[in-house]
Chains A and B, each alone.
Chain A
């Protein structure tokens, strides 16, 4: 048997050409890079924690320690601060890349625009989840209430709602980077896009607070799922127009 011919590995051989794994790899790299940046600039994490606690304390002062009607306010008390934390993330997503000029590095790299968007979306999603992890338990402790439904349902509703906000947030951030008043334009851009997902999330959370089961929140879940799929499909087609000329 002949020995296999020795092939010297060149740099080109090391490059992966698998489109699917490259998609996930690129999105993962961008996410990792953004998380690393976030962790090194601690003040944004502090502002999330402060925002969460201030919101909970304000509701606490407004409603009193053991308000019998607290369940009526739970969904608003949770989603308002979560949304505002999301807004913080919107400004960091793409706007920051534009401000420091590194967006050109992403534009010139041989990666799919959807991978970039996916990385940014997951980044905003994780940022908001971090916020929710602080807000929800501390709110339950400060205002002295608990959900009377299955905990997994609460998680599902919150996670799906946050994911939808993150999808909108990443595209809003990408659009906003072209405008002059980058941070100011973000609410104006996101407000018309958000009602379709924020209303169902608020409603479902409100129902879960008083012990609803999965059947009674099915319509909300369906709308949120439809929202997610529709937005992903639209962005899949249109996002390259946002990023490239």
Chain B
């Protein structure tokens, strides 16, 4: 994944300005910075939800502007709010999204849902309506939702907030296990978690990248 001079402005105000980063396959990349630094905007642009004002971005060679449909197939996103329907059960939600991503075979869908929910230890809640679950459980199901189609690039906006310690540990394990197949870009305002989890970190401030470093140094 690569961006060059990516900017997004609202009128004359820049949410992000001249962001150029390159993330390698299989990397866990952390975006850090205070609230309002432009982390969410960057993630929204990369997930095709917002168009950049200028600059280029490509994901696995697909241009973010021109090949939107291709890009969408390759990414999975987690936003601040979950994208699940309260009145549907977790399983209905997940199979709905799987079908939107082109999966048809019922057995395959069952299998995928079982595998993914096992990873987060919530197989026993799949028949529950999302509205009846705790916020931590919802968050877990939402992360499962984002990864259900095995995206090559996973974009997560503050995935660690709202999770308890156990959830954080599970998510870290999950990051490490998905690393083989997919690249992960996530944002956090928590310095400690950011440095612990990611291979590389970029710090954003007022829409600009002020520092990029390999963590663990």
Contact = CB atoms under 8 A, between A and B. Distances in A.
Interface of A: 11, 14-17, 22, 25-26, 29-30, 33, 36-37, 40-41, 100-102, 104-111, 244-245
Interface residues of B, number: 37
A219 B112 CA distance: 54
Nearest to B71: A110
Interface string B66-93: 0011101101010101111111100010
B102 A110 contact: yes
Contact of A22 (B79, B82, B102): B102
Given A14-B104, A109-B72, 10 more contacts: A14-B108, A15-B102, A30-B100, A33-B88, A33-B92, A37-B87, A101-B81, A102-B84, A110-B69, A245-B49
Contact of B100 (A11, A36, A109): A109
Contacts of B119: none
Contacts of A110: 69-70, 72-73, 100-102
Contacts of B51: 244-245
B46 to A, nearest CB: 11
B137 interface: no
Given A109-B97, A109-B100, A104 B79 contact: yes
Given A37-B88, A40-B87, A100-B85, A245 B104 contact: no
B58 interface: no
A16 B104 contact: yes
Which secondary structure dominates chain B's binding surface? loop
Given A16-B102, A22-B102, A108 B72 contact: yes
Contacts of A29: 96, 99-100
A102 to B, nearest CB: 5
A36 B103 contact: no
B100 A102 contact: no
B88 to A, nearest CB: 6
A125 B9 CA distance: 40
B105 interface: yes
Interface string B126-159: 0001000000000000000100011000000000
Q: Which of B47, B82, B83 has the most CB of A within 10 A?
A: B83
Nearest to B86: A100
B105 A14 contact: yes
A43 to B, nearest CB: 12
Contacts of B99: 25-26, 29
Contacts of B104: 14, 16, 25
Given A11-B112, A36-B88, A107-B49, A101 B72 contact: no
A178 to B, nearest CB: 14
A25 B99 CA distance: 8
Given A102-B83, A109-B72, A36 B92 contact: yes
A110 to B, nearest CB: 4
Given A33-B85, A36-B87, A37-B85, A108 B48 contact: yes
A107 B47 CA distance: 9
17 contacts: A11-B108, A16-B102, A25-B104, A29-B96, A30-B100, A33-B96, A36-B88, A100-B85, A100-B86, A101-B81, A102-B84, A104-B79, A106-B100, A107-B48, A107-B49, A110-B100, A110-B101
A113 to B, nearest CB: 11
Interface in B2-55: 47-51
A134 to B, nearest CB: 23
